[in-house]
């Protein structure tokens, strides 16, 4: 077994958030070990990580649903911690294929947890989501104790259940320390342009839709709804630069590694600021110098009018706060999109 280095297991490490986190871990002296089966990513992401860090990354092409394969990896490294990103994430698809989501998102989590306990790896970070808040009553700013609503999709249910599973395992007395990070809306790309979001098929999220429209891959962006009760009538979200989000995992690992005894904590990861859909479009047009082809359309079913994070706990507990601006994020996403098209 390899024991000399600070190995961190990163499931889903070839994905959008995982790849940026791998870079930040390496830049902070840790040795990430990626486990990904490329179901929603590409070897291009590994090449991109390697270009940024200037060295090979440790990688295993394994489905985490394959418990035996996962156990072999746990047997090979003395992990100090686990960051568990691997999951399916398309909200709409989860409504039509619920079993795919329950099987991968919960089955994968359970396999990771069983291995963690078997191999005595006690630091665990789980990728949760602001989707667990549903449509919050009354307030648009949510804290970690804002009551959760019924999940509005099987995907959302897997994040609520994932957190519940982790809490129950900690309550059972297992030697485990858990940090549930509830991400808001991750956007952007690494400023080098070597890694970024790689939506397979038509993008589900706003910013890749914007950049693909500007790049001519898609014809037109539809803004879903113009009559919301917000200053410009469009929905408001808390968009966070993916590199800031990646850094939250480094801060989270440092914090959790210093805890003694079992623990389970939840932390919102956002900027604390709300941005409307029209503001995103205007920022894009300003930084790219391009005019975007867009039109207003109907509201999208299930959309929350406005939600953004209260980020006080992140600052106090794990000593992290977002640094990058919306402009940074849009420039980086656009740069990445252009690199993709040039390839």
Provide φ and ψ at 266, rounded to 5°: -120, 135
d(CA 186, CA 320): 16
Binds ligand NAD by CB under 6 A, chosen from 8, 9, 10, 14: 14
Binding mask 127-156 for ligand WQD (x = CB under 6 A): --x-x-------------------------
Is residue 268 near ligand NAD by the rule CB under 6 A?
Answer: no
Is residue 315 near ligand WQD by the rule CB under 6 A?
Answer: no
Binding at 33: pick from ligand NAD, ligand WQD, none (beta carbon under 5-8 Å per type): none
User: Of 87, 174, 175, which is closest to residue 126 (Cα–Cα)?
Assistant: 87
Binders of ligand WQD among residues 70 to 99 (CB under 6 A) are 89, 91
Q: Are 264 and 122 in contact (CB under 8 A)?
A: no
Q: Which residue's CB is nearer to ligand NAD, number 39 or number 290?
A: 39
Please, what is the minimum distance in Å from the beta carbon of residue 127 to ligand NAD? 4
Provide φ and ψ at 260, rounded to 5°: -110, 150
Q: Which DSSP state fits 306?
A: B
d(CA 147, CA 343): 46
Is residue 38 near ligand NAD by the rule CB under 6 A?
Answer: yes
Catalytic residue among 155, 209, 228, 239: 155
Task: Take residue 71 and report the two structure tokens written for it.
Answer: 């156990």
Q: Are 244 and 318 in contact (CB under 8 A)?
A: no
Q: Which stretch binds ligand WQD (CB under 6 A): 97-105, 114-122, 200-208, 248-256?
A: 200-208
Please, what is the minimum distance in Å from the beta carbon of residue 36 to ligand NAD? 4
Alpha helices in the chain (DSSP H): 16-27, 43-53, 67-76, 91-96, 98-101, 108-118, 154-171, 206-214, 242-257, 277-288, 312-318, 326-342
155 catalytic per annotation: yes
Is residue 16 near ligand NAD by the rule CB under 6 A?
Answer: yes
d(CA 45, CA 205): 19
10 Å Cβ neighbour count for 53? Answer: 16
Is residue 224 near ligand WQD by the rule CB under 6 A?
Answer: yes
Q: Which stretch binds ligand NAD (CB under 6 A): 62-70, 137-145, 278-286, 293-301?
A: 62-70
Please, what is the minimum distance in Å from the beta carbon of residue 343 to ligand WQD? 24
CA dist 155 → 98, 113, 151, 230, 341 (Å): 8, 19, 8, 27, 30
Binding residues for ligand WQD, rule: CB under 6 A, are 89, 91, 129, 131, 185, 204-206, 209, 221-224, 235, 237, 277, 300, 303
Q: Which residues bind ligand NAD (CB under 6 A)?
A: 12, 14-18, 35-41, 63-65, 85-87, 89, 104, 108, 127, 129, 183, 185-186
Annotated active-site positions, please? 155
């Amino acid at each position: 077994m390899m024991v000399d280095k600070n190995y961190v297991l990163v499931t889903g490490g070839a994905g959008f958030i995982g790849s940026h986190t791998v870079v930040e871990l390496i830049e902070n002296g840790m040795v990430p070990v990626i486990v990904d089966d490329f179901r929603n990513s590409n070897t291009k992401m590994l090449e991109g990580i390697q270009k940024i860090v200037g060295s090979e990354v440790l990688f295993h092409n394994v489905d985490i649903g394959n418990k035996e394969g996962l156990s072999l990896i746990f047997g090979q490294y003395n992990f100090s911690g686990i960051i568990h990103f691997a999951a399916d994430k398309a909200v709409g698809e989860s409504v039509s294929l619920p079993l795919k989501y329950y099987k991968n998102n919960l089955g994968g989590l359970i396999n990771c947890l069983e291995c963690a306990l078997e191999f005595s790896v006690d630091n665990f970070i789980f990728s949760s989501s602001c989707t667990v808040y549903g449509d919050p009553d009354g307030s648009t700013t949510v804290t970690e104790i804002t009551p959760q609503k019924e999940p509005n999709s099987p995907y959302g249910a897997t994040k609520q259940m994932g957190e519940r599973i982790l809490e129950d395992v900690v309550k059972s007395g297992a030697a485990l320390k858990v940090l549930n990070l509830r991400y808001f809306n991750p956007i952007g790309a690494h400023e080098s342009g070597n890694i970024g979001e790689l939506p397979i098929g038509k993008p589900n999220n706003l910013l890749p839709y914007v950049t693909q429209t500007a790049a001519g891959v898609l014809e037109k962006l539809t803004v879903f709804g113009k009559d919301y009760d917000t200053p410009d009538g469009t929905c408001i979200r808390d968009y966070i630069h993916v590199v800031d989000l990646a850094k939250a995992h480094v801060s989270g690992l440092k914090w959790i590694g210093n805890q003694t005894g079992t623990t389970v904590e939840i932390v919102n990861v956002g900027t604390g600021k709300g941005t409307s859909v029209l503001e995103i479009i205007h920022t894009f047009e300003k930084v790219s110098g391009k005019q975007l082809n867009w039109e207003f359309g109907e509201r999208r079913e299930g959309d929350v009018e406005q939600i953004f994070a209260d980020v006080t706990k992140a600052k106090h507990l794990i000593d992290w706060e977002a640094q990058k601006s919306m402009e940074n994020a849009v420039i980086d996403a656009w740069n990445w999109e252009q690199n993709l098209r040039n390839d």
